[in-house]
Structure 1
Amino acid sequence: MQKRTIKKVAVLGSGVMGSRIACHFAGIGLQVLLLDIASPAKEGELKPNRNKIVNDALATAIKSNPSPVFTKDVIKNITTGNFEDNMKDITSCDWTIEVVVERLDIKKSIFDEVEKFRKPGTLITSNTSGIPIHLMTEGRSDDFKKHFCGTHFFNPPRYLQLLEIIPTPDTDTEIIDFLMHYGDLYLGKTTVLCKDTPAFIANRIGVFSIMSIFHIMEKLDLTIDDIDALTGPVIGRPKSATCRTADVVGIDTLVKVAIGVKDNCPGDEAKDTFVIPLWLQKMVDNKWLGDKTGQGFFKKTKGDEGQKEILTLDLKKFEYTSRQKPKFATLNAAKPIDDLKQRLKVLVAGKDKAGEFYRSFHYSLFSYISHRIPEISDEIYRVDDAMKAGFGWEIGAFESWDVLGVKETTAAMKSAGYDVANWVNDFLTEGNISFYKIENGKRLYYDVSTKKYLQLSGGDSFIILSDLKEKTVWKNTACNLYDLGDDVVGLQWNTKMGSIGSEVLEAMNKSISIAEEKYKGLVIANEGPQFSAGANVGMIFMLATEQEYDELDLAIRMFQNTMMRVRYSSIPVVVAPHGLTLGGACEMCLHSDKVQAAAESYIGLVELGVGLIPGGGGTKEFTLRSADEMHENEPETITLQSRFLTIGTAKVSTSAFEAYNLGILRKGIDEISMNQQRRIADAKQSVIEIFDNGYTMPLQRTDIKVLGRSVLGMLYAGINGMHRGNYITDYDVIIAKKLAYVMCGGDLSEPTLVSEQYLLNLEREAFLSLCGEKKTLERLQSVLKTGKPIRN
């Protein structure tokens, strides 16, 4: 297999998808050539801007929220141009991606031009979502055909993990293997190999799921508000659930895909599900297409007093009305259950209309996916991977079937009039009870063609902690310590939002002790939607309101001591965060030997928002790092001021890359895993490398230079200026001054060298004093009640 490297990529088409695909490639450090049609000259224009269309599109993408780039500085990697003047420049590109309008004739005309300039042997792919891939290669050269493939990114490409790879019969297997690997390792995607069938995998199953829900909604006389309450996070789906998702994607897009499947899949046994309901067609006719037209299933308005209100479409009256909170006994019974798998069982067993909905929905989905094997995929796990990565499902469809019991659910489906594919009947006749199983910590899937259980493709590159239960070394009610193999252990916990309380701190100390005794090192990671929202705010609030200050002091000491144990242990500790990594979780990263962060990690010290300062060593660590960053040729105050502002404004990185700029991650030490699923395996490898290179436990620092009174006065003046400008409240001033006091080492008359423990004591005292303030308690209470702090 030839060695192939990608240094420069051409993206042809700068629409919503093209511009954002270009941004994602630029984000991983590649040079990108972004082209679109030449802008026509305006009458009387002496020097026409032929790149206006592409430049405007890129500017719009960069300004969009959420941002398509990890950091703004990667935009310099993108060069813009137009098809007439710059198509010749693709000769220097290793990969050309076509992302023009979904019309075969236009795509073919673009490929005519590509053939003139493309360097033989380079990759050429199309990002189509609806046109059969093989039709695009008609009339093309053999070299083009060998190196051509469908690469279907999902929008927004930075955030949605799915990349569908769709080869043609002419695509070289080396190209398929390369794209599957490159998409996973470098682009951070779940790469799913698809057959060249209408809508491929994710849209075929996803749009069926949505259309099925619409038909069940009609049958059971449910409202739009009912549907989004029933099909959101409660069943492991995104907050946008069903109707809100349709509004975001575009109702016309949804209808187009549904019609495409109905028209192009005559053998689909469930093609009637893709028939557009009259009310949905009416929405399209009315141009009520969702966010792009300002109204769809939902409509944002302003009330009489100027407050924003979201209205819901009443499908019977066909007018917008105030949202109604659905009331279902089944939902009320299931919501307190944190474990999704247990929750699904309760939902499907419900005795009310919600339970009826869940049975109808799951039965129709299970029936449909069973018939899609081997039509759209030979392997069941590819269907689950596509839905989790493309539609944000927390649990795949075949995985859900396993949870509910394949044998019992199939029997219930047949009784309710839903059939299954013959291979499922054979599967059960052979005595099998689940589509997936775990052996020796490895996840296996049932392979329909061989009727055997096989290991998941690429399984050695991924460590799934929840699959290692039989390798548990130690546990308490919230945490599990697993043997990851190769003399490394891994700790995870299962608290709500990954919050860090006494049980997690106990587990961290115990895990380090066990690792010091028997292993090379420790990985700390979680597999929930977020790594951790930080310390247990509820516990702090309870102790503070009850004025249990001795207990609170002990709790803060325990947190600080645990973070210091992470830093000063005789084995390497590597933390592998992803998603929200806030407050105490950020402090854990700051004290680790190395951070192996997922690219989509949002890390920050956010304590000021709840009326506190970082109290688990975060303030100390930022002070220590600012001291180490001081240079002789610049004022000593610059680095301290920068770090003070990072904490003082509760800045959270919008990516792991930005965390370098905020001084949370350390360049040359901490690393980023583009693919979130690889971060634990990468962290384990880091532990081994650090240990094998002769790890020595560091010594506690006693040489931290703090600047004392002179800089404290300067920071106080800055705080007062912010207050006069109405940027911060009266109470923000109090908190900020306490933070400044700690970071300057107190009211010292001159710069002084101090120890880490000295700073930890100052930090703890400030934290404790703020816990006694009424306004801090109000902020904590607001977070506990609403999830957001108040500005008081």
Structure 2
Amino acid sequence: MKRTIKKVAVLGSGIMGSRIACLFAGIGVQVLLLDIVPKEATESTNVLARNKVVNDALQAAIKSNPSPVYTPDVVKRITTGNFDDNLKDIAACDWVIEVVVERLDIKRSLYEKVEQYRKKGTLVTSNTSGIPIHLLAEGRSEDFKKHFCGTHFFNPPRYLRLLEIIPTKDTDQSVTNFLLHYGDLYLGKTTVLAKDTPAFIANRVGVFGIMNIFHVMQKLGLNIDEVDALTGPVIGRPKSATFRTADVVGIDTMVKVAKDLRNNLPDDEAKEMFVIPAWLEKIVTNNWLGDKTGGGFFKKIKLPLAEGSPEEQKRDTEIQTLNLDTFEYAPRNKPKFATLDAVKPIEDVRQRIPVLFAGTDKAGEFYGQLFYALFSYISYRIPEISDESYRIDDAMKAGFGWEIGAFETWDLLGVAKTAEMMKAAGFTYASWVDEMLAAGNTSFYKTEKGKRLYYDIPSKTYQLIPGTGVFIVLSNYTDKVVWKNSHAALYDIGDEVVALQWNTKMNSIGSEVLDAANKSIAIAEEKYKGLVIANDGANFSAGANVGMIFMFAVEQEYDELDLAIRMFQNTVMRVRYSSVPVVIAPHGLTLGGGCEMNLHADKVCAAAETYIGLVELGVGLIPGGGGTKEFVLRAADEMHEDEPETITLKNRFLTIATAKVATSALEAYSLGILRKGLDEVVMNQNRRITEAKRSVLEMYDSGYVMPVPRKDIKVLGKSALGALLVGVNGMQRAGYATAHDALVARKLAYVMCGGDLSEQSLVSEQYLLDLEREAFLSLCGERKTLERLQSVLKTGKPVRN
């Protein structure tokens, strides 16, 4: 049957339920969110009193940070109610998602009521993480069982991309297939088929990994700060690493999962790894459970006032670390390991990991113990928790934020070589690994013709990872390089389309990246139908190379700086005025120069989680790579007779002047960064390059014609400039802007009004680019701008001066 999801019921409005409701509302689905009637309102007829639990929970979710909604208005799609009065309304829903308290009896009791009202064929799923899915379905009708399974979202569901699908033996295969596809295409998730085993896939491996780290830490005599330095971004794991993650999740939650796993896994060869260390038991006994109790492994401490300071003075704070020997908090120490120092120049984590693993100090020993135990554990989990290795890697990357999966890491280190080292160190692994090697297969993955294949154990052959045929991953096209320089590469991605990717720190844009963009467009114009600009990194781009700007400015190399800005402007104009379509597929941070490049594309296919904006005001500059010009151009095109002309321009001005960044691609529409009806939002980040390629081909096949440079941009001159300057002065007097903020904003206003023109005029794009560049150069000579740039280079944040 063809299944369409128009309305979803979410039963339970706690932290997960309310946020799952927001996720569905964000993709355009109508949501019915229900919860219990408060005890004090059981006899009341007041709807607000009876819905207090659900309404309070939803409001708390909306106000939380990070936001669970793409844009504030999506909340209008959520209707609230309670189980007593509104459960009957699930009859109009296509999917019922249960997210109530983790008790089997309560869930079963709720399902009995659900079955009274759901229409046949309606999907019913549970978000449980601790109760076997098959137990939940016991006693239900055949139709209920057929359409029931587990759908385990990870918290926060908007941001963590993992969705585990856990069918029972009674679940219809078409239901499983539908949920895997729907989660991928519409919810933007990495959907992973999991077996109905304790903790499923991600938590099973993830909690083992954390407990293993605790044991290795004790064995090697490492402290909390050292372990977090070793297990964070340096190996492609989240910045919160191990102990900070535990504080965020809740130490008691982590301990409960570990204990449940040990109790429920009598045949797990590594079950002793789930034994809670004495020091961890003591932390739980002390109720030091992490952020929710004000302290766990880390605690924010108020520092004493300096002698003679008034008591009412605000005291400084610092984050201190728990000493596991003394159980006292102390200032954090920056760990020193020769192995970590050795990898500082290595940007690519895939190149870092072999160097870390080969380290001869205590850090190298830590990595050896860490990886040996992890590789051993995952090998034995097949086929227990999954029949395929790639599902384990997908789950860890999407659920725990690992940049590289466990089997992928083993591949990096060399499967055969590492297996021998494991044996020598006393570690074992599943026999299928030796069988794979004996058959002449040396890795768990390989790439052919741009597609990623995994080693299939039963057939002893390599198979295409199901569902990935529609994904374009540029790192899979290393054998299809058309052109490259030291920081960028142009790939042939098939169907006469090429794709440009660059790899710099934070994917910043410097001269080599600009060279690559110009060269790529020239090659595309000569031999191909069009160009896609995208990358596989964590972010599209954090903007222009701030270090280069700062160096030229400090050394007063203004001619060099002028040339650099011209080059950036000319490059984005080359993106706009090429003879073939250029489509950009951003994701993650897309700031400053990265945003400016997108503003000039024929089309943008942005991942939903794209945080895009012109942030130059924060560092004391204005957008100098065509961003200011483009906002003026768009404002001119948007002006209409039934509103004052300055309104549209003022809104555009404020977006730049406040360095506003869209918190999602959908919000970027309201900021005028993405264009409604032209630019596209792609829910699943893995699909954005595919969509960009499709758009290139559509434009080419429709008879793409290069746009004509604009010479008809209406600027308002003095009439608008006065109004904008009054606003800037007001913000400064009210304390919202510093004197330097105001100086930069005045420069911005001057450019956006077309200069000090006595009347409205029509100007060219080049006229505005020249004004923009002149303002940018003049601000580079300001001491406070240089202070802000220097602060960004040192700390990652601009100083407020």
Using the size of structure 2 for normalisation, the TM-score is 0.98
Deviation per CA, 1:504-535, whole angstroms, max 9, x where unpaired? 11111111111111111100001111110011
Q: Which residue does 1:571 correspond to in 2?
A: 580
Q: Which residue does 1:73 correspond to in 2?
A: 73
Q: Which residue does 2:526 correspond to in 1?
A: 517
Q: Which one is further off, 79-88 or 429-438?
A: 429-438
CA distance in 2, matches of 1:733, 1:50: 51
Query: SS in structure 2 opposite 1:289?
Result: coil
CA distance in 1, matches of 2:326, 2:564: 57
Q: Which residue does 1:316 correspond to in 2?
A: 325
The answer (yes or no) to whether the contact 1:301–1:311 under 8 Å persists in 2 is yes
Alignment partner of 1:102 is 2:102: yes
The answer (yes or no) to whether the contact 1:574–1:593 under 8 Å persists in 2 is yes
Q: Which residue does 2:478 correspond to in 1?
A: 469
Q: Which residue does 1:439 correspond to in 2?
A: 448
Instruction: Give the drift of 1:285.
Output: 1.4
The answer (yes or no) to whether the contact 1:12–1:34 under 8 Å persists in 2 is yes
Deviation per CA, 1:226-253, whole angstroms, max 9, x where unpaired? 1111100000000000011111111111
The answer (yes or no) to whether the contact 2:44–2:50 under 8 Å persists in 1 is no
Q: Which one is further off, 563-572 or 276-285?
A: 276-285
Deviation per CA, 1:319-370, whole angstroms, max 9, x where unpaired? 2121111111111112221111221111111111111110000000000000
The answer (yes or no) to whether the contact 1:40–1:50 under 8 Å persists in 2 is no
Counterpart selection for 1:488 from 480, 497, 509: 497
The answer (yes or no) to whether the contact 1:543–1:549 under 8 Å persists in 2 is yes
Q: Which residue does 1:240 correspond to in 2?
A: 240
Alignment partner of 1:502 is 2:501: no
Aligned 1:518-667 pairs, distance under 5 A: 518-667=527-676
Q: Which residue does 2:23 correspond to in 1?
A: 24
Instruction: Give the drift of 1:786.
Output: 0.7
Instruction: Give the drift of 1:312.
Output: 1.0
CA distance in 2, matches of 1:528, 1:624: 31
Q: Which residue does 1:35 correspond to in 2?
A: 34
Q: Which residue does 1:198 correspond to in 2?
A: 198
CA distance in 1, matches of 2:302, 2:346: 36
CA distance in 2, matches of 1:320, 1:199: 33
Instruction: Give the drift of 1:281.
Output: 1.2
Q: Which residue does 2:347 correspond to in 1?
A: 338
Gaps of 5+ in 2: 306-314
- After superposition, the Cα gap between the structure-2 partners of 1:307 and 1:409, relative to the gap in structure 1 and judged at 3 Å, is same
The answer (yes or no) to whether the contact 1:571–1:691 under 8 Å persists in 2 is yes
The answer (yes or no) to whether the contact 1:378–1:449 under 8 Å persists in 2 is no
Alignment partner of 1:12 is 2:11: yes
Query: SS in structure 1 opposite 2:164?
Result: strand
Instruction: Give the drift of 1:400.
Output: 0.2
Instruction: Give the drift of 1:552.
Output: 0.9
Letter in 1 for 2:647: I
The answer (yes or no) to whether the contact 1:566–1:592 under 8 Å persists in 2 is yes
Aligned 1:250-269 pairs, distance under 5 A: 250-269=250-269
Instruction: Give the drift of 1:46.
Output: 7.8
CA distance in 2, matches of 1:76, 1:405: 52
CA distance in 1, matches of 2:520, 2:384: 47
CA distance in 2, matches of 1:307, 1:550: 44
Letter in 2 for 1:22: A
Deviation per CA, 1:557-587, whole angstroms, max 9, x where unpaired? 1100110010011111000000000001100
The answer (yes or no) to whether the contact 1:12–1:99 under 8 Å persists in 2 is yes
Alignment partner of 1:759 is 2:768: yes
Query: SS in structure 2 opposite 1:485?
Result: coil
Query: SS in structure 2 opposite 1:646?
Result: helix
Instruction: Give the drift of 1:431.
Output: 2.1
CA distance in 2, matches of 1:574, 1:44: 60
Q: Which residue does 2:373 correspond to in 1?
A: 364
Q: Which residue does 2:284 correspond to in 1?
A: 284
Aligned 1:268-279 pairs, distance under 5 A: 268-279=268-279
CA distance in 2, matches of 1:508, 1:45: 66
CA distance in 1, matches of 2:606, 2:780: 32
Instruction: Give the drift of 1:318.
Output: 1.3
CA distance in 1, matches of 2:736, 2:288: 40
The answer (yes or no) to whether the contact 1:11–1:32 under 8 Å persists in 2 is yes
Q: Which residue does 1:87 correspond to in 2?
A: 87
Counterpart selection for 1:750 from 740, 743, 759: 759
Instruction: Give the drift of 1:257.
Output: 1.0
Deviation per CA, 1:143-194, whole angstroms, max 9, x where unpaired? 0011001000000000000000000001001001100000000000000000
Gaps of 5+ in 1: none
Instruction: Give the drift of 1:43.
Output: 11
Counterpart selection for 2:745 from 705, 728, 736: 736
Please report the RMSD computed on the Cα atoms of aligned residues, expressed in angstroms. Answer: 1.0
Q: Which residue does 1:58 correspond to in 2?
A: 58
CA distance in 2, matches of 1:245, 1:729: 37
CA distance in 1, matches of 2:171, 2:737: 60
Instruction: Give the drift of 1:40.
Output: 2.4
Q: Which residue does 1:114 correspond to in 2?
A: 114
Instruction: Give the drift of 1:42.
Output: 5.8
Deviation per CA, 1:87-106, whole angstroms, max 9, x where unpaired? 00000000000000111111
CA distance in 1, matches of 2:464, 2:151: 25
CA distance in 2, matches of 1:374, 1:325: 42
Q: Which one is further off, 123-132 or 299-308?
A: 299-308
Query: SS in structure 1 opposite 2:318?
Result: strand
- After superposition, the Cα gap between the structure-2 partners of 1:115 and 1:46, relative to the gap in structure 1 and judged at 3 Å, is closer
CA distance in 2, matches of 1:437, 1:265: 33
The answer (yes or no) to whether the contact 1:483–1:490 under 8 Å persists in 2 is yes
- Structure 1 runs of 4+ off > 4 angstroms? 42-46
CA distance in 1, matches of 2:450, 2:127: 36
Q: Which residue does 1:307 correspond to in 2?
A: 316
Q: Which residue does 1:727 correspond to in 2?
A: 736
Q: Which one is further off, 570-579 or 34-43?
A: 34-43
Q: Which residue does 1:686 correspond to in 2?
A: 695
The answer (yes or no) to whether the contact 2:41–2:50 under 8 Å persists in 1 is no
Letter in 2 for 1:532: S
Using the size of structure 1 for normalisation, the TM-score is 0.99
Instruction: Give the drift of 1:44.
Output: 11
Letter in 1 for 2:766: Q
CA distance in 2, matches of 1:445, 1:47: 58
CA distance in 1, matches of 2:469, 2:281: 47
